[in-house]
């Protein structure tokens, strides 16, 4: 998982730019870890997801695809299907519900003390480790994530803590990247290249 929250909308990768993968990225033939790639092709696709959430309820949006293909009410098909392809995702929100990132059934944003994790049934715990539209506005998304083939899919748990049913709209800008591996680039390229870090959910 590689969620990054920026202070402003981060730039998308373009053809001819370079990226290096760090951390325990899932295997693509061989591990991505430590390898350099050049963007061969880049295509941007806008994808809006609209959900109405009853008061006091939550839904999970999963980045995997349904068994029959396409997408469903809860599965968004936001993982690439070809080796060598990467999705660079920007995500923004419109609406009042709270959004909690999860990975492998674990909350991504939490503190270090035991049981100090987002807890939707607890009036204190539900206000820990969430994003809202102020963090990443719909029209100016500040959240960035990378996804690769066959990885464990990220999940967004969305909770409505308002007194009435409410709607949330998620805007994904999907930068579909075709990458080609390169040998160690020059120092000048390394200084400006993108680094995609894979975060393991462990205490540190």
pLDDT in tens, 70-80: 889 999 999 99
Classify 190 as helix, strand or coil.
Answer: helix
Q: How many CA atoms lie within 13 A of 8 on its CB side?
A: 1
**123-158: per-residue pLDDT in tens?**
899 999 999 999 999 999 999 999 998 888 999 999
**157-195: per-residue pLDDT in tens?**
999 999 999 999 999 999 999 999 999 899 999 999 999
Please state the domain extents for the chain.
4-197
Q: What is the spatial distance between Cα 67 and Cα 133, in angstroms, rounded to a whole number?
A: 31
Please answer whether residues 155 and 60 qualify as being in contact, where contact means their C-beta atoms are separated by less than 8 angstroms.
yes
| 110 vs 99 pLDDT, higher one | 99
Q: Write down the pLDDT at residue 204.
A: 45
- The first and second tokens of residue 162, run together, are 């308002």
| Helix %, strand %, coil % of the chain (to 5) | 5, 45, 50
Q: Which residues make beta-bridge pairs with 47?
A: 172
- The C-alpha angle 104, 6, 92, rounded to 5 degrees, equals 70
**20-67: per-residue pLDDT in tens?**
998 888 765 567 888 999 999 999 999 999 999 999 999 999 999 999
Q: Write down the pLDDT at residue 168.
A: 97
Q: Write down the pLDDT at residue 30.
A: 61
Confidence class for position 202, pLDDT limits 50, 70, 90: low
Number of DSSP helices (H) and strands (E) in the chain, helices first: 1, 13
Residue 1 reports pLDDT greater than 80:
no
Q: What is the spatial distance between Cα 88 and Cα 12, in angstroms, rounded to a whole number?
A: 7
């Amino acid at each position: 998982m590689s969620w990054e929250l920026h202070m402003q909308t981060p730039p998308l990768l373009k053809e001819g730019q370079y990226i290096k993968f760090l951390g325990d990225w899932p295997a693509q033939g061989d591990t991505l870890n430590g390898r350099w790639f050049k963007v061969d092709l880049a295509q941007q696709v806008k994808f809006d997801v609209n959900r109405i959430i009853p008061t006091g309820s939550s839904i999970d949006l999963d980045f995997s695809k349904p068994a029959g293909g396409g997408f469903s009410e809860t599965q968004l098909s936001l993982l690439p299907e070809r080796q060598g392809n990467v999705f660079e995702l920007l995500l923004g929100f419109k609406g009042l519900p709270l959004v909690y990132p999860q990975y492998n059934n674990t909350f991504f944003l939490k503190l270090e003390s035991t049981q100090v994790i987002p807890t939707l049934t607890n009036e204190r715990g539900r206000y820990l480790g969430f994003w809202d539209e102020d963090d990443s506005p719909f029209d100016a998304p500040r959240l960035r994530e990378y996804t690769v083939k066959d990885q464990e899919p990220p999940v967004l748990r969305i909770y409505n803590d308002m007194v009435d049913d409410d709607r949330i709209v998620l805007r994904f800008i999907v930068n579909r990247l075709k990458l080609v591996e390169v040998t160690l680039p020059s120092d000048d390229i390394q200084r400006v290249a993108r680094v995609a870090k894979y975060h393991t959910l462990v205490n540190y």
